Amino acid sequence: MIAAVVATALRTPEAIQADPPAGRHARFLDRLGLHALDAGLEALAAAKLSAASDRIGLFVGTSGLRPRWDEMRAALSGPSAAGPWEAGLRKLHPFWMLQHLSNNMHALLSMEAGIRGEGATFGGAVSGAEALQAATRALHANAVDAALVVAYDEAVAAMVLARPGELTRELGHIEVSSGVDGNPQPSADEIENSGAATSVVQAVSWLRRTAAPGSAVLLSNATQGFVSVVRVEVF
Amino acid sequence: MRRAVITGAGAVSAFGVGLAALFDGLAEGRAAVGPIRSFDASTFPVRVAGEVPIAGIEAQWLARELNGISKGAEIAHAAAADGALRDRKVAFALLAAAEAWRDAGTPPGLDARLSFAAGLEQAFLEDLAPLWTGHSVDWSKDAKAPLPPTRYRSTVDLGPRLVAKLLSLRAPFFIHASACAGGGLAVAHAATLIERGEAEMVLCGGTDSMVNPLGIGGLSRIGAPSPRNEPDACRPFDRRRDGLAVGEGAAAFIVEEESLARSRGARIRARILGWGSTQDGYRATAPLPDGSAARRAMELALRRHGVAANRVGYVNAHGTGTPLNDPAESLAINGALKGATVPVSSIKGAVGHLMSASGAIELAACLLTFERGILPGTAHHRELDPDCPIDVIGETPRRAQVEVVLSNSFGFGGQNVTIALGHPEAAA
């Protein structure tokens, strides 16, 4: 089975510095999640797959479910002698847990687009490639006719920058410095590492039947060590 | 045709460490939800959980539990030194994986892959609190300190990464982050890799713990747990149900290609006959009321390898005990099984909702049906809700010999997965 990437939509580091589109999901998603959701809808529209369907899958890769510092302030903002609940956890937003679920963007995108086929969210460093691999497997199994693959991540969140403090010393290329409100200031490198990429993938045999345009062919994919390799050629 | 079978299993649950503890607890119809002991939850709205009965996880204890694995002591002490054991699910993953590995006969020389579900990255408030100035965090207070890898938070792949080290797994691993469907999807993914010839053996499963101040605090705020702080907090399919009980733990499986398993003389615990994955595409916080997407997941699980619905002898339900899940799942079950009367139970009343690990621990519970001829009961289920017109096994387990079982896992945001398991001697 050969799978083809028929549409893509990207949100580059420059693009995600703009405000994401306003909408009803803003209560549940962070900025990058909103950008990723918007890019996913754009890719579906470009592939002319905007109608709800049981035969469209959704596969998402993101680094993981991460408590972010701005929400965590509430947890630390009171006298600690009263215990963590009284000290601040009781001030967490009721949607805090929902906002931080790792498949939150997945859930909202499937809802927004009416995607009801196979789906999974992967976490970790190569999760975007894993999502693409899972999509091709679903196509191969004829579980779906098309799959939307979304990968997004941010390296600019304070909690992410905090941990690489060790990397500062070991690798010397990530500068963690105090910024506004004491949060670490992202370096240019980290901003470049933030973004969202989406692709709609379909089986070539399906494309031939439907005459949908294809722009590239995914010939193979493999995972080597901790790096996933995806080979894409012009269709 | 390549087929996937389960040749090893391990579990950590509110019944204790080990698959036998889970089996015994379920077979005896016990329930293990009770007051939280691993931290002071007295001021929290939620004060009960299906908590693994270990208050503090220490290196020496973990090293002893990992006996028989050559790197067990080394990994246990290194994890403790790094602060990784503060995240309870890390140790649960190690314990379940080690048991599954031993149960499968410590298969040597195989390039096993890893497909594991893990939950929320845990923020360590105790690391952050000293940096708090009253209005912001002063990171510079920590700038010169030696920072262990798990400072401030545990990464999503921390547990699986240590499992890979423990068992010297060098192949790439997959982290499933599909909330409550993650454990089931991790096993489904393993079966896919086997069937496609991408792997000969996969260590799979899930681990999670939200029994910590941040997890219990966040769940308290969202209001999903039962407002009663009683051991019967979770009453699946019961007319009186009012929410879930938080649980924690892990389950792991060795899934391998059937002919390979037979050739090495491995004990086959179950066959993976199929799986199905769908999405509701409905609402983030509520299941599709007609259960249609969940029903399709069940149907796909049967259809994948042509298993007839009338061969299903038991359904292990997602059964959260929440007002919305149980009626929708009942519709799904009746639809997928074409109205046939098939025994259904949920173990969440007994061990709580293990979140990302729920699909894995419930699949482990399904093995009980094949190995002891016992269908687990539904703890605290006493009055069937008329909106759940299915054959719910009450608090007392049933004896039955079944050929095929289905295990449902339905995650936040409408991600659904069903695994079809067959008796080791069941026809494909």
Q: What is the pLDDT of residue A212?
A: 39
The 10s digit of each residue's pLDDT in A17-66 is: 788 888 888 888 888 889 899 999 999 998 888 778 999 999 998 876 56
- For residue A95, give how far its alpha carbon lies from the nearest alpha carbon of chain B (Å): 6
Q: Say whether B156 and A63 touch across the interface (CB within 8 A).
A: yes
The 10s digit of each residue's pLDDT in A128-143 is: 888 888 998 998 888 9
Any idea what the CATH number is for the domain that residue B222 is in?
A: 3.40.47.10
pLDDT surpassing 70 at residue A111 = yes
Q: How many helical (H) and strand (E) elements, i.e. helices and strands, does chain B have?
A: 13, 16
Q: What is the pLDDT of residue A28?
A: 83
Task: Reduce the DSSP state of residue B295 to 3 states and report it.
Answer: helix
Contact (CB, 8 A) for B245 and B349: yes
- For residue B288, give how far its alpha carbon lies from the nearest alpha carbon of chain A (Å): 11
The 10s digit of each residue's pLDDT in A198-212 is: 778 776 565 555 543
Q: Say whether A134 and B43 touch across the interface (CB within 8 A).
A: no
Beta bridge partners of A199: A8, A149
**B196 at A interface, C-beta within 8 A:** yes
Can you give the pTM of this predicted structure? 0.91
DSSP-derived secondary structure letter, A180: G
* Residue A235: HSE in the Cβ half-sphere, 13 Å Cα cutoff: 22
- For residue A178, give how far its alpha carbon lies from the nearest alpha carbon of chain B (Å): 7
Which of A84, A125, A226 lies closest to B125 in CB terms? A84
Residue A192 confidence class, pLDDT cut points 50, 70, 90: very low
CA dist., res. B342 & res. B383, Å (int)? 18
Structure-block tokens of residue B238: 């019961």
Q: What is the pLDDT of residue A221?
A: 38
In a domain, B18, yes or no: yes
The CATH number assigned to the domain with range A1-65+101-151+200-235 reads 3.40.47.10
In a domain, B132, yes or no: no
Structure-block tokens of residue B242: 């009012």
Q: What is the pLDDT of residue A29?
A: 85
Q: What is the pLDDT of residue A84?
A: 78
Q: Which of B151, B4, B326 is nearest to A160 (CA)?
A: B151
Number of independent structural domains in chain B: 1
Q: What is the pLDDT of residue B125?
A: 74
Contact (CB, 8 A) for A20 and A233: no
CA dist., res. A26 & res. B283, Å (int)? 15
Q: Say whether B119 and A65 touch across the interface (CB within 8 A).
A: yes
In a domain, B410, yes or no: yes
CA distances from B9 to B118, B176, B369, B426 (A): 17, 19, 14, 19
pLDDT by residue, tens only, chain B of 428 residues: 899 999 999 999 999 999 999 999 999 999 999 999 999 999 999 999 999 999 889 999 999 999 889 999 999 999 999 889 999 999 999 999 999 999 999 887 567 899 999 987 777 777 777 777 766 666 667 665 555 667 677 878 899 999 999 999 887 789 999 999 999 999 999 999 999 999 999 999 999 999 998 889 989 998 899 999 999 999 999 999 999 999 999 999 999 999 999 999 999 999 999 999 999 999 888 899 999 999 999 999 999 999 999 999 999 999 999 999 999 999 999 999 998 999 999 999 999 999 999 999 999 999 999 999 999 999 999 999 999 999 999 999 999 999 999 999 999 889 999 999 999 987 66
Q: At what angle do helices A104-113 and A31-46 cross, to 10 degrees?
A: 40
Contact (CB, 8 A) for B336 and B300: no
Contact (CB, 8 A) for B280 and B296: no
CA angle A117, A120, A126 (to 5 degrees): 140
Residue B62: which H helix or E strand, with range?
Answer: helix B59-65
ipTM of the complex: 0.94
Q: What is the pLDDT of residue A63?
A: 72
In a domain, B111, yes or no: yes
Residue A193 confidence class, pLDDT cut points 50, 70, 90: low
Q: What is the pLDDT of residue B173?
A: 84
Please, which residues 4-23 of chain A have a Cβ atom closer than 8 Å to chain B? Answer: none
In a domain, B414, yes or no: yes
Question: What percent of chain A is modeled with pLDDT above 70?
Answer: 60
Q: Which of A57, A61, A42 is nearest to A202 (CA)?
A: A57
A-B contacts at Cβ under 8 angstroms: 230
CA angle B391, B396, B400 (to 5 degrees): 65
Q: What is the pLDDT of residue A100?
A: 78
Residues of chain B with C-beta less than 8 angstroms from the C-beta of A52: 281
In terms of CA atoms, which chain A residue is nearest residue B156?
A: A64
Residue-wise over B12-33: b if at least 16 C-beta within 10 A, else e?
A: bbbbbbbbebbbebbbebebbb
In a domain, B288, yes or no: yes
In terms of CA atoms, which chain A residue is nearest residue B151?
A: A163
Q: E strands within chain A? A: 3-11, 56-61, 119-123, 146-153, 195-203, 216-224, 227-234
Residue type, B11: A
- For residue A19, give how far its alpha carbon lies from the nearest alpha carbon of chain B (Å): 23
In terms of CA atoms, which chain A residue is nearest residue B180?
A: A103
DSSP-derived secondary structure letter, B160: H
Q: What is the pLDDT of residue B149?
A: 64
DSSP-derived secondary structure letter, B122: P
The length of chain A is 235
Residue B385: which domain range?
4-121+156-422
CA dist., res. B17 & res. B53, Å (int)? 8
In a domain, B130, yes or no: no
Instruction: Give the ranges where B167-278 is alpha helix by DSSP (H).
Output: 182-195, 213-222, 258-263
**B212 at A interface, C-beta within 8 A:** no
Which of B174, B214, B222 lies closest to A75 in CB terms? B214
Residues of chain A with C-beta less than 8 angstroms from the C-beta of B177: 62, 64-65, 102-103, 121-123, 127
* Residue A3: HSE in the Cβ half-sphere, 13 Å Cα cutoff: 29
List, by residue range, all CATH 3.40.47.10 domains of chain A.
Answer: 1-65+101-151+200-235
Average pLDDT, chain A: 70
C-beta pairs of A14-19 under 8 Å, 24+ apart in sequence:
A15/A195, A16/A194, A16/A195, A16/A196, A17/A191
In a domain, B369, yes or no: yes
Q: Which of A35, A56, A48 is nearest to A144 (CA)?
A: A56
CA dist., res. B188 & res. B44, Å (int)? 36
Q: What is the pLDDT of residue A16?
A: 77
Q: What is the pLDDT of residue B290?
A: 97
